[in-house]
A and B are shown apart, each in its own frame.
Chain A
Amino acid sequence: MKTYYYYQSLRRTIIQFLDLFNDIKVIRYARDGTTVTKYVEVPLKFAGKEKTWHWIYQRKDDEMLPMMSVTLTSIDFAVDRMGNKSNKIVKTVDPANNLVQRFINPVPYNINFTLSVWTLHMSDADQIIEQILPFFTPEIYMRVNIPEIGGTFDVKVIFQSCTPDITIEMPDEERRVIMWNLDFIAQTYLFRPIVPADVDSDGVNMIKKIITKIYGSEEGWDYRGLYIDGSTETTFTSGASGAEMEAMYIKAVPSGGEYYDVDGDPYYQYTLFD
């Protein structure tokens, strides 16, 4: 946790969640009550903001309704969605230079949101809620793209409940207030820092080849050797590895011949002993 990084996963999840409710409208009629005059887009905002923001961008004498507001109420770890904590996801960032980057499995968190709807009319609340609930069965999916990791993931948004808060009893100085609170859970992910594609430091380099050797028995290991095209046999010396081993292989293979692959790396054919 000592390296600064910020992938805006939380912020982007919030914005994508807000966008789900961004185009909700209510209808308005002419005096006759049947002729449609317009469709009013319901204002939507995230709470809370600084007081300064409200003073600059909002009048404070009249109440403008309807209005929708999203509040982030809590963030909980989602143990049921947690994968292998050590598994690494590798992304190719520069195929030409075989550079990759990796990050550890994303960490699942549930973000709890409350969408509050405040209307002047019950029929407006009806319209708003009816434009939201049918899309949640009880879940909906939204996409979050994190360019920093070069990936996009789906976030499952689950509808929880819808609770009215409507004034029924009104003393002299009160009037009817209509509010609805809709609770949702957004199953998002947070990320630990990416190991950068930097071969000069602690970065990650691309694995181009994987050479596997299988020895069927201890005797096979003791007498391990290889046949190269069935004509030449080379036996490893104890402790030979890396460049030393490769030099042995190269020594055993005719240079410039058909025993080199397209990259110029020696091609080996292994034969199991025993």
Chain B
Amino acid sequence: MAHPSKLIKPKWSLYDTTDENPEHELFENYIVEFTDIAGIKAQYYIRDESIEMDTLYGESVNTAYLGPYETKIIYEPTDEATMTNAFGIVSEEMVQFAFIPKFTFSRDVSAGYNPKPGDVIQTTWNNRNYELVDAGEEAHIFLLGKMVWELILKPYRYSEQSDSAKTILKTPDSTLSDPITAYGDNEWIEEASSAIDDYTDVDEEIYGF
């Protein structure tokens, strides 16, 4: 026969997220405080949803961002493997997982907004930019379920969408006046080609120019 005290069920559980559950409050305070103390500083950029999107392709070329909002996230930097391919050095396969308590997110970023793919996080300690690929809340379901956003991050992709997109770059005021084009050999190709033949003595229309 079990001890009588074991027959009495607790009146609360961690999954009870109502205000009437002080243990939940305590636990939430714990993870928020832990994040504030031990978290890694980050700037959070919300993708501006007011920008009209192209219905056909489901995209907005002139994407803009709101923020930045200073906050802290929990993540363990992992090896960010890069691949050198035809386009240069890319980190397409690189994935980072980060966590942020929902309360922290509401307090620091936006109270009425949930993280979405397309948002951008900049970790200030190394000035790396990451694009949210997915936001979930299933991680650590037993202890932190429904209390923490789990963020899947990939390298930020810049395409001269807008001025706010440019501000996210590590060095938006770098010496590269035109950062995108500077990543190609265009200027060199132009000069080298002209040195080979600049088509000045022929009708360029023949050559499709």
Give chain A's interface residues, CB within 8 Å of chain B: 12, 15-16, 18-19, 22-23, 28-31, 33, 38, 40-49, 51, 54-55, 58-69, 71, 116, 118-124, 135-136, 140-145, 152, 172-175, 177
| B159 with A62: CB separation less than 8 A | no
Report which residue of B86, B127, B160, B193 has the largest number of chain A beta carbons within 10 angstroms of its beta carbon. B86
B137 within 8 Å of A (CB atoms): no
A152 CB, nearest partner CB in chain B, Å: 6
Known: A44-B186, A121-B61. A62 touches B87 (CB 8 A): no
* B184 interface residue per 8 A CB criterion: yes
- 8 A-B pairs with CB atoms under 8 Å apart are A19-B190, A44-B185, A47-B86, A63-B157, A122-B56, A140-B208, A142-B207, A145-B196
Q: Are B86 and A69 in contact (CB-based, < 8 A)?
A: yes
How far apart sit A188 and B2, CA to CA, in the bound complex (Å)?
A: 91
Could you tell me if A42 and B184 are in contact, using CB atoms closer than 8 angstroms?
A: yes
Assuming the A-B contacts A41-B181, A45-B88, A140-B207, are A172 and B136 also in contact, with contact meaning beta carbons closer than 8 angstroms in the complex? yes
Main secondary structure of the interface of A (DSSP, over half): mixed
A63 close to B184 (CB less than 8 A):
no
Q: For the complex, is B29 an interface residue (Cβ under 8 Å from A)?
A: no
Q: Is B160 a contact of A67 with CB atoms below 8 Å?
A: no
B45 to chain A, nearest CB (A): 13
Q: How far is the CB of B94 from chain A (nearest CB, A)?
A: 10
A44 touching B193, Cβ below 8 Å: no
CB contacts under 8 Å to A, within B163-178, are 169-170, 178
CA of A33 to CA of B193 in the docked complex: distance in angstroms? Answer: 36
Q: Which residues of B contact A19 (CB under 8 A)?
A: 189-190, 192-193
Residues in chain B near residue A64, CB distance under 8 A: 157-159, 179-180, 183
Question: Which of A48, A60, A123, A172 is B82 in contact with, Cβ under 8 Å?
Answer: A60
A54 and B159 contacting across the interface, CB-CB below 8 Å: no
B181 and A144 form a contact (CB under 8 A): no
User: CB < 8 Å: which of B86, B128, B159, B197 contacts A65?
Assistant: B159
Interface residues of B, CB < 8 Å — how many?
61
A38 to B162, CA, bound (A): 10
The answer to whether A54 and B89 touch across the interface, beta carbons within 8 angstroms, is: yes
Query: Chain A residues with Cβ under 8 A from B131's Cβ?
Result: 175
Bound form: Cα–Cα A120–B180 in Å: 12
Determine whether the beta carbon of B88 is less than 8 Å from that of A123.
no
- What is the CB-to-nearest-CB distance from A74 to chain B, in angstroms, rounded to a whole number? 15
Which of B17-25, B101-109, B148-156 forms contacts with chain A? B148-156
CB distance from A131 to the nearest CB of B (A): 12
Contact A63 B61 (CB under 8 A): no
CB-CB under 8 A from A136, the residues of chain B are 208
Please, how many angstroms separate the alpha-carbon atoms of A140 and B185 in the complex? Answer: 22
Judge whether B145 is part of the interface by a CB distance below 8 angstroms.
Answer: no
- Which B residues form the contact surface with A (CB < 8 A)? 51-52, 54, 56-57, 59-62, 64, 82, 84-92, 95, 117, 127-129, 131, 133-134, 136, 152, 154-162, 169-170, 178-186, 189-190, 192-193, 196-197, 199, 202, 206-208
B85 / chain A contacts, CB cutoff of 8 Å: 47-48
Closest 6 CB pairs of A and B: A43-B184, A47-B86, A19-B193, A122-B57, A69-B86, A120-B159
- Name the CB-closest residue of A to B131: A175
User: Is B207 a contact partner of A15 (Cβ separation < 8 A)?
Assistant: no
Q: B47 to nearest A CB, angstroms?
A: 13
Q: A38-B160, A172-B136, A172-B152 are in contact. Are A145 and B208 (CB under 8 A)?
A: no
Contact B159 A143 (CB under 8 A): no
- Given A28-B61, A122-B57, A177-B92, A40 contacting B84 (CB threshold 8 A): no
Is B180 in contact with A43, judged by CB distance below 8 angstroms?
A: yes
CB pair B91–A174 under 8 Å, yes or no, is no
Do B189 and A62 touch (CB < 8 A)? no
- 9 additional A-B residue pairs with CB within 8 Å, beyond A19-B190, A61-B91, A122-B57: A16-B197, A28-B62, A41-B181, A43-B183, A63-B158, A118-B87, A121-B59, A141-B206, A141-B208
- The answer to whether B87 and A116 have CB atoms under 8 Å apart is yes
In the complex, which of the residues B59, B82, B184, B207 contacts A67, with contact meaning CB atoms closer than 8 Å? B184
